[in-house]
Amino acid sequence: MHWQPNEFVLLVSPEGKRLLVKVEDKRFSTHHGEIDLSKLQETKPGEAVFTHKGVPFLTLKPTLYDFIHRLKRRTQIIYPKELGYILMRLGIGPGSRVVECGAGSGALTMTLAWWVRPNGKVFTYEREERFAKLCLENLSWAGLKPWVELKLRDIGAGFDERDVDAVFLDVREPWCYLKQAWEALRGGCVLGILVPTTNQVSEVLRGFEEVPFTDIDVLEILLRRYKPVAERLRPFDRMVAHTGYLIFARKVLGK
């Protein structure tokens, strides 16, 4: 089947530059000339489309990974290496109701929204208007807004939702909001937290002494990429050494 109107397409230039575009009635400028994006309707995924100078750009199906790497960001975001693992640990799937704070640039919001479709909901909280707007902008761009309700306020007073399937906190002082997270969660379900420093992890662990959570797990994820050359297979010289620590715990009742 050919590319359809309004579908997102990942264009890959001869040098490997990746560009995310939509199938629409528009011309798109590249360093190799212009691409008529309506012509994508005559192209199949995996085939090349040509610029007016005859340079081929491969057309590939974008995944959420490509969207996350291209969203507008004005805050630190959570990266795919943590995002995928977070989904699994929180048990997110179609129909999940999940609460998160803060929305920031919306990388986690987009990821959760993608996976709760078609009948789940993400309730995201953000106290700064500029980040709330940015998150909504990114969600609209990716077509994921229908699965998100954004609330512009501080979570100090708690969350509106009850019995949600999961809560995630990506804020500077998550230990201040463990009680609020506990109140929103369904019994036995998972709270996830991301913090960039070990002293924040210690604060969270101290916080768990006051609020009934169990099954506490602290970890970090290291990702090492390899140069894909069969004869000289070895890691790239540089890697991202640190992003953040992840903490997971489950709500228990009656402590």
104 part of the interface to ligand SAM, by CB under 6 A: yes
**Complete edge-to-edge strand list for the sheet that includes strand 245-251:** 148-152, 121-126, 97-101, 164-169, 185-195, 245-251, 213-219
243 part of the interface to ligand SAM, by CB under 6 A: no
Question: Beta strands 121-126 and 148-152: pairing type?
Answer: parallel
248 part of the interface to ligand SAM, by CB under 6 A: no
The CB-of-171 to ligand SAM minimum distance in angstroms stands at 4
The CB-of-90 to ligand SAM minimum distance in angstroms stands at 13
Residue number of the CB closest to ligand SAM reads 102
The CB-of-56 to ligand SAM minimum distance in angstroms stands at 34
127 part of the interface to ligand SAM, by CB under 6 A: yes
CA neighbor of 216 nearest in space, from 178, 247, 172 = 247
192 part of the interface to ligand SAM, by CB under 6 A: no
The CB-of-126 to ligand SAM minimum distance in angstroms stands at 5
Q: How far apart are CA 178 and CA 29, in angstroms?
A: 49
170 part of the interface to ligand SAM, by CB under 6 A: yes
The CB-of-7 to ligand SAM minimum distance in angstroms stands at 25
Nearer to ligand SAM, 171 or 201 (CB): 171
Strand residue runs (E) in 120-184: 121-126, 148-152, 164-169
Single residue of 21, 23, 64, 102 touching ligand SAM by CB under 6 A = 102
The CB-of-130 to ligand SAM minimum distance in angstroms stands at 9
139 part of the interface to ligand SAM, by CB under 6 A: no
Within 8 A by CB and 6+ apart from 175, the residues are 200, 203, 204, 206, 207
Is 174 in contact with 218 (CB distance < 8 Å)? Answer: no
CA angle 48, 56, 44 (to 5 degrees): 10
Nearer to ligand SAM, 112 or 249 (CB): 112
Q: How far apart are CA 50 and CA 32, in angstroms?
A: 10
Q: How far apart are CA 73 and CA 149, in angstroms?
A: 20
Interaction site with ligand SAM (CB under 6 A): 75-78, 101-102, 104-108, 125-128, 131, 154-156, 170-172
